[in-house]
Chain A
Amino acid sequence: MTTPANPRGMTRRELLKRGTVLSTAFVAGTGFLAHATDAWAVELKALSPATMATLIQMARDIYPHDRVADRFYAIAVKGHDDTAAEDATHKALIEDGIADLDARAQAAGAPSYLGTGWEIDRVALLRQIESGGFFQAIRGGLVVGLYNQKEIWPIFGYEGESFSKGGYIDRGFDDIAWL
């Protein structure tokens, strides 16, 4: 993707010069997290870049859509950083939750949650914590935070608002042809 959206909670800026970045998926700087090959970044207020990178992976593992780019998952979890900046309890919930997840990954022989290579193995870790407050806070926020982003609706085929186009009366409300 070369045309990032300018959604709420995100700061659009020229970030990375190709060739200076690592080849990993995420580059953690100080105070922001940027994608290695895409021109977007999350400006962080409270959480560390490593924590946010783990949250983004966790979000994708909870609602994995292979055609939905990382930046949409980043937008979907950015609210936790905003909340953490104002609420120490929430900051601790997130940071302790990630630390716990990393510890479980290490117990399973991986370097970290992010360093766990296969989705099925990361999901197994999430299953261990799915009834807990940390997991439910992340999952619950994603239901609206991810799926209510208009930019991803076309990926699902959903066309959104129709009134301005006169509805579907002349635009295929009954065009099914395969029955």
Chain B
Amino acid sequence: MAAPYDLSDATVVVVIGTGAGGGTLANELAQKGIDVVALEAGGRYLPEDYLNDEWPSFGQLAWLDARTTSGNWRVATDFSGLPAWIVKAVGGSTVHWAGASLRLQEHEFRVLSEYGAIEGANLMDWPLTLAEMEPWYDKAEDKMGTTRTNGIPGLPGNNNFKVMKAGADALGYKNCHTGRMSINSQPRHGRPACGQLGFCFQGCKFGAKWSTAYVDIPAGEATGKLEVREHAHVLTIEHDASGKVSGVVYADKDGNHQRQAARAVCVAGNSIESPRLLLNSASSMFPDGLANSSGQVGRNYMRHMTGSVYAIFDKPVRMWRGTTMAGIITDEAGNDPNRGFVGGYEMETLSIGVPFMAAFLDPGGWGREFSSAMDGYENMAGMWLVGEDMPQEGNGITLHPEVKDQYGLPAPNVHFDDHPNDTAMRNHAYTQGSAVYDAVGAVRTLPTPPYPSTHNLGTNRMSAKAADGVVDKHGQAHDIANLFISDGSQFTTGGAENPTLTIVALAIRQADHIARQMAAGAI
């Protein structure tokens, strides 16, 4: 059913990556009748393949290619070779994501105006407004089946949520519920309701959670206009003498290099691989990498202010039962500089199993302080703290001068220094997260440091002016008309919200733009 396209077919749009951005875009283009070749570095795993077992699942899905880290973030110490916890497979990190689907707030599209200039932060307003994005958010929520939109009821609250809710109520928080989740609370569009498995991060074996792996990709393939090539790891993007991109070179499953010609190229490899690919594609015409006349490719890397609070009670909670991200408190998400920082954060329940808890609770920790906390596992509740971090020009992705990947290309180094605003927000969030649990009788709270990044953003930022960023408001490269960025790397700033919904909404919008540009002969 999937359309096979010839390597020399220069009429196809090549989409690199099949996650929230690329997978959505590939399907949306195919639905419009546009010929698409999607190149995916990983293999294809479907619900029947997913594993309810944390480490084997990690081995199945995680992106484990060579990467290095630097900077003062704790991840560089705790997980020096694993800056990000993202997926290498058809579906990308929509296989692994928790499902939280939140719109950015109105002011988060114009933070420079709202917050003012902040020392050390490269703040900028998006060239987009919430009002412009609302119709695309509507489409994304309908596609994904987001609860509490389109008349879809919220998910039922599990034990972990009930503890959070009781604490939120006791503390006087007003906005605590089971979230806007792209997990079916009732059967919809041929997929079943959530069975409360407790393994959202390992791929949903019920298929109740939206993922491009088994929603958009097969829908696109069914049109006959989308060919997905698995184990096709793109190495470089090529351009012609006029400076337009003309094709991509990728390593196939046997490591042989193939060249796919292209009418346009859309890059959606996540905020580490996407800028790396542009940098690795430097040529005599573009010596600093493709689309990099601004010098912003790879810069302004954001990963959200994160942390977790786990709390131990004198009675069982069994937080692992059911939806991993089962509820949210949004009361701290607004911008209230009186708290000592700009921007806001969300508090979202989180649970990990014993194997991952051992790895993430206090990396490097040992002795009875650590092991007694593990002994309290059955009585634990947990939440993740996720907030807006400051874009900083020095935080970013660069090509490592010595370390190479399995294809001999320079590995990406991920540099991140916490901004003082990030640290102040994290400390506030730890205090409030602990207070939620203390309010319902926690005997011990555990402020847990950030995990390897799951929200990787900003390294090909969107800007109104070509001098300030890499792409325009449609994700189209300022420098190269037929080159697009289609993932979270186009975010100008990060907002407090989990980014997937915005990535999907931008991809739907971008598909519309590409189709119009093609129809007009502009690309």
Pairwise interchain contact A162-B158, C-beta atoms closer than 8 A:
no
C-alpha spacing A148/B357, complex, angstroms: 10
Contact of B322 among A161, A166, A173 (CB under 8 A): A173
Pairwise interchain contact B159-A158, C-beta atoms closer than 8 A:
no
- Taking the complex as formed, is A109 at the interface, i.e. its CB lies under 8 A from any CB of chain B? no
C-alpha spacing A171/B354, complex, angstroms: 19
Task: Return the chain B residue nearest A61 by Cβ.
Answer: B367
Pairwise interchain contact B166-A157, C-beta atoms closer than 8 A:
no
- Near A by CB (< 8 A), chain B positions 139-156 give 156
- Taking the complex as formed, is B435 at the interface, i.e. its CB lies under 8 A from any CB of chain A? no
- Taking the complex as formed, is B8 at the interface, i.e. its CB lies under 8 A from any CB of chain A? no
- Taking the complex as formed, is A117 at the interface, i.e. its CB lies under 8 A from any CB of chain B? no
Query: How far apart are A120's CB and chain B's nearest CB, in angstroms?
Result: 9
Pairwise interchain contact B315-A144, C-beta atoms closer than 8 A:
no
Query: How far apart are A169's CB and chain B's nearest CB, in angstroms?
Result: 4
Pairwise interchain contact A63-B440, C-beta atoms closer than 8 A:
no
A64 CB contacts on chain B under 8 angstroms:
367-368, 371
C-alpha spacing A169/B357, complex, angstroms: 23
Pairwise interchain contact B159-A176, C-beta atoms closer than 8 A:
yes
C-alpha spacing A158/B351, complex, angstroms: 12
- Taking the complex as formed, is B359 at the interface, i.e. its CB lies under 8 A from any CB of chain A? yes
C-alpha spacing A142/B138, complex, angstroms: 47
C-alpha spacing A147/B355, complex, angstroms: 5
Contact of A147 among B157, B358, B378 (CB under 8 A): B358
Question: 1/0 per residue B171-215: CB within 8 Å of A?
Answer: 000000000000000000000001111110000011000000000
Query: How far apart are B390's CB and chain A's nearest CB, in angstroms?
Result: 32
Pairwise interchain contact A168-B196, C-beta atoms closer than 8 A:
yes
Query: How far apart are B17's CB and chain A's nearest CB, in angstroms?
Result: 28
Pairwise interchain contact A168-B198, C-beta atoms closer than 8 A:
yes
Contact size range, A:
35 or more
Query: How far apart are B126's CB and chain A's nearest CB, in angstroms?
Result: 39
Q: What DSSP secondary structure best describes chain B's contact surface?
A: loop
Query: How far apart are B279's CB and chain A's nearest CB, in angstroms?
Result: 32
- Taking the complex as formed, is B244 at the interface, i.e. its CB lies under 8 A from any CB of chain A? no
Pairwise interchain contact A158-B377, C-beta atoms closer than 8 A:
yes
C-alpha spacing A153/B356, complex, angstroms: 12
Task: Return the chain A residue nearest B316 by Cβ.
Answer: A157
C-alpha spacing A143/B358, complex, angstroms: 6
C-alpha spacing A166/B355, complex, angstroms: 22
Pairwise interchain contact A148-B322, C-beta atoms closer than 8 A:
no
C-alpha spacing A153/B157, complex, angstroms: 25
- Taking the complex as formed, is A1 at the interface, i.e. its CB lies under 8 A from any CB of chain B? no
Contact A174 B206, CB 8 Å, known A65-B371, A147-B374: no
A175 CB contacts on chain B under 8 angstroms:
159, 318
Contact of B166 among A67, A160, A168, A179 (CB under 8 A): A179
Contact A174 B371, CB 8 Å, known A139-B366, A158-B320, A168-B322: no
Pairwise interchain contact A167-B375, C-beta atoms closer than 8 A:
no
Pairwise interchain contact B367-A123, C-beta atoms closer than 8 A:
yes
Contact A173 B321, CB 8 Å, known A123-B367, A143-B359: yes
Most buried by B among A143, A147, A173: A173
C-alpha spacing A62/B357, complex, angstroms: 16
Pairwise interchain contact B353-A158, C-beta atoms closer than 8 A:
yes
Contact of A156 among B322, B359, B378, B440 (CB under 8 A): B378
Contact of A179 among B163, B357, B378 (CB under 8 A): B163
Pairwise interchain contact B157-A161, C-beta atoms closer than 8 A:
no
Contact A172 B199, CB 8 Å, known A65-B374, A148-B55: no
B358 CB contacts on chain A under 8 angstroms:
143-144, 146-148
Task: Return the chain A residue nearest B356 by Cβ.
Answer: A147
A162 CB contacts on chain B under 8 angstroms:
52, 197-199, 321
C-alpha spacing A51/B203, complex, angstroms: 42
C-alpha spacing A162/B377, complex, angstroms: 17
Pairwise interchain contact A176-B163, C-beta atoms closer than 8 A:
yes
C-alpha spacing A175/B195, complex, angstroms: 15
- Taking the complex as formed, is B407 at the interface, i.e. its CB lies under 8 A from any CB of chain A? no
- Near B by CB (< 8 A), chain A positions 122-159 give 123, 130, 139, 143-144, 146-148, 153, 156-159
Query: How far apart are A109's CB and chain B's nearest CB, in angstroms?
Result: 22
Pairwise interchain contact A169-B196, C-beta atoms closer than 8 A:
yes
Pairwise interchain contact B197-A172, C-beta atoms closer than 8 A:
no
- Taking the complex as formed, is B317 at the interface, i.e. its CB lies under 8 A from any CB of chain A? yes
* Interface, chain A (partner B; CB < 8 A): 61-65, 67, 123, 130, 139, 143-144, 146-148, 153, 156-163, 166-169, 171-176, 178-179
Task: Given contact pairs A163-B205, A173-B198, enumerate 4 new A-B contacts (beta carbons under 8 Å).
Answer: A64-B368, A65-B374, A156-B354, A167-B195
* Selected A-B contacts with CB under 8 Å, 8 pairs: A148-B55, A157-B318, A159-B320, A167-B206, A172-B318, A173-B321, A176-B163, A178-B315
* Interface, chain B (partner A; CB < 8 A): 52-55, 156-159, 162-163, 166, 194-199, 205-206, 315-318, 320-322, 353-355, 357-359, 364, 366-368, 370-371, 374-375, 377-379, 440
